[in-house]
Amino acid sequence: MSQKIAITKVQAIVIAVIIIAGISAGVFILVTTAPPPPPTKTQIVVGLVDSETGALAPQTATFDLYYQWIIQDIDRNGGLYVPQYGKKLNVTMIHYDDQSNINNMLALTQKLITVDHVDLMFGPVSTAFNFAAFPLYQEYQYPVVALTFGSDIAGADMISGKYSYCFSCLGMPSECGAQIVQAFEYINTTKDPGQLNTIAIINDNDQHGVEYGAAMHAALSLAGFNVLSQTEYPTTISDFTSIITTLKGENPDVVILAGYEGGLFCKQCAAEAYNPKLIVCGPSMETPFLVFGPYGFTPSNVTGIMLYDGWPSTSYNTPALQQWAYEHYNRTLGTSGFNWYPFPASATFYAALQCLFDAVQQVGLNRTLIRNALANDNFTTILGNTHLHQGYGMECSAAGTICQWTGQQIPAGDGCPAGTICSVVWPLSAASAAIVYPKPAW
């Protein structure tokens, strides 16, 4: 009996030793197989698909600048600090041309995400292309700040959470409609009392034109203006002559073109000596590079043309913003022969990208945390206190909404000459120039 007990004690000791050894081995395994620190990273890689060739190439030539500029500025300052690596990293970009084909854009966007494994994404040019890409950004959880985009339909999806990783900076169609109403009511009570009544709206059949045209039509009609039936035209239009002939017969006080084709329309209005009291255009007619370059306008014959989409916007009427304009004057297109300054919404686009990269500096390259920061935080940008208000236009403390060519110039400085720029004319609290009304004849 005593021998059996003694053996049991020995067995117990052996078992205890085995257990202790096993635990030690387990601890050793746990320690030696713990997740390694993040691998050494030498740069932040951003993906971009846009339209270097094809129908959207003119817009791309202008809007790509902000992507290039902010990367240049980050790298000139030694890179972007990334908390998880405890150091600054330079930013580089993988860039593909979709040839203005939306299916190409989607395939190349998927390649950037699943093959190139980029850290961040920039959005393409145009409302339709951004809207088409939103499901991919959401599926793969890439926070994207769409620059050249505005859609109430997609805005509602942003608010609902369907596109929670997608942000915009420009005013949405319904917001633009409300601002146009305010500006027209001001003109109708102060500059042309009771005489701004009839409005014609023409829009292209792109998503941008359809949504912005419809939103302005609804807002102006509800405000009591006489809005004529809308005329829709194809984005491939090459001749507005028949539309201009119809407009002459209808004789509206104001013509609004909702679309990207304002340059061609205004040139043909001048050729046909068509002079409504005011012409309001969409994207491209606010850019000195296009207006005074390929479009062939001069500062005098573009005066009075108003822009509905260039907001939030600034006219570089503070020393800090003027210095930013000087620094970026002719930087990328220095060999083009066009001496031009960034147009008013340029600072908006740059500020929106500042928000994206500032979020990285706060939370690192975890894309969900970046998305959360963009949705909830305020950032200090060149436009002051800035917030990406998801589903709406970006909120900035130093910006306005509606712009117009008024003959205003940014003064010479820092080795740069004076240059004509588009002015912010609404709201009055942010205006750098008074509204020109009526528009001078061609």
Which residue ranges form the domains of the chain, and what is each CATH number?
A: 43-168+345-396 (3.40.50.2300), 174-315+400-426 (3.40.50.2300)
pLDDT of res. 440 = 97
Burial (CB < 10 A; 0-12, 13-18, 19+), residue 92, is middle
- Name the one residue in this structure whose structure tokens are 């793969």: 140
- How far apart CA 19 and CA 25 sit, in angstroms, is 10
The tokens describing 16, both together, are 């205890």
Range 237-248 average pLDDT: 97
More confident residue, 111 or 59: 111
pLDDT of res. 310 = 72
Cβ-Cβ contacts under 8 Å for 377 (sequence gap 6 or more): 359, 362, 387
More confident residue, 313 or 177: 177
Residue 34 pLDDT greater than 50, yes or no: no
Burial (CB < 10 A; 0-12, 13-18, 19+), residue 408, is buried
The two beta strands, 379-381 and 231-233, are: unpaired
- Name the one residue in this structure whose structure tokens are 């800090």: 320
Range 400-420 average pLDDT: 92
Confidence of residue 40 (pLDDT cuts 50, 70, 90): confident
**Contact yes or no for 340/332 (Cβ under 8 A):** no
Percentage with pLDDT > 70 across the chain:
89
Residue 225 pLDDT greater than 60, yes or no: yes
In tens, the pLDDT along 115-153 reads: 999 999 999 998 899 999 999 999 999 999 999 899 999
**Contact yes or no for 312/49 (Cβ under 8 A):** no
More confident residue, 106 or 61: 106
Instruction: Kindly compute the dihedral angle of the four CA atoms of residues 365, 366, 370, 376, in this order, to the nearest 10 degrees.
Output: -140
The tokens describing 42, both together, are 């030498």
pLDDT of res. 306 = 97
In tens, the pLDDT along 264-315 reads: 999 999 999 999 999 999 988 988 888 988 899 999 999 999 999 878 888 8
In tens, the pLDDT along 72-107 reads: 999 999 999 999 999 999 999 999 999 999 999 999
Residue 23 pLDDT greater than 70, yes or no: no
The two beta strands, 306-307 and 87-97, are: unpaired
Instruction: Kindly compute the dihedral angle of the four CA atoms of residues 225, 231, 234, 239, in this order, to the nearest 10 degrees.
Output: -100
- How far apart CA 396 and CA 11 sit, in angstroms, is 77
**Contact yes or no for 259/226 (Cβ under 8 A):** no
Least confident of 17-31, 171-185, 310-324: 17-31
pLDDT of res. 38 = 56
SS3 readout for the chain: CHHHHHHHHHHHHHHHHHHHHHHHHHHHHHHHCCCCCCCCCCEEEEEEEECCCCCCHHHHHHHHHHHHHHHHHHHHCCCEEECCCCEEEEEEEEEEECCCCHHHHHHHHHHHHHCCCCCEECCCCCHHHHHHHHHHHHHHCCCEEECCCCCHHHHHHHHHCCCCCEEECCCCHHHHHHHHHHHHHHHHHHHCCCCCCEEEEEEECCHHHHHHHHHHHHHHHHCCCEECCCEEECCCCCCCHHHHHHHHHHCCCEEEEECCCHHHHHHHHHHCCCCCCEEEECCCCCCHHHHCCCCCCCCCCCCCCEECCCCCECCCCCHHHHHHHHHHCCCCCCCCCCCCCCCCCHHHHHHHHHHHHHHHHHHCCCHHHHHHHHHHCCEEECCEEEECCCCCCCEECCCECEEECCCCEECCECCECCEECCEEEECCCCCCCCCCCCCCCC
In tens, the pLDDT along 316-339 reads: 888 999 999 998 886 755 544 556
Q: Which residues pair with 232 in a beta bridge?
A: 203
Least confident of 230-239, 341-350, 364-373: 341-350
In tens, the pLDDT along 198-212 reads: 999 999 999 999 999
**Contact yes or no for 94/46 (Cβ under 8 A):** yes
CA separation, residue 34 to residues 28, 30, 245, 364 (Å):
10, 6, 76, 22
- How far apart CA 242 and CA 265 sit, in angstroms, is 11
- How far apart CA 113 and CA 121 sit, in angstroms, is 8
Phi-psi label, residue 408: left if phi above 0, alpha if psi -120 to 50, beta otherwise: beta
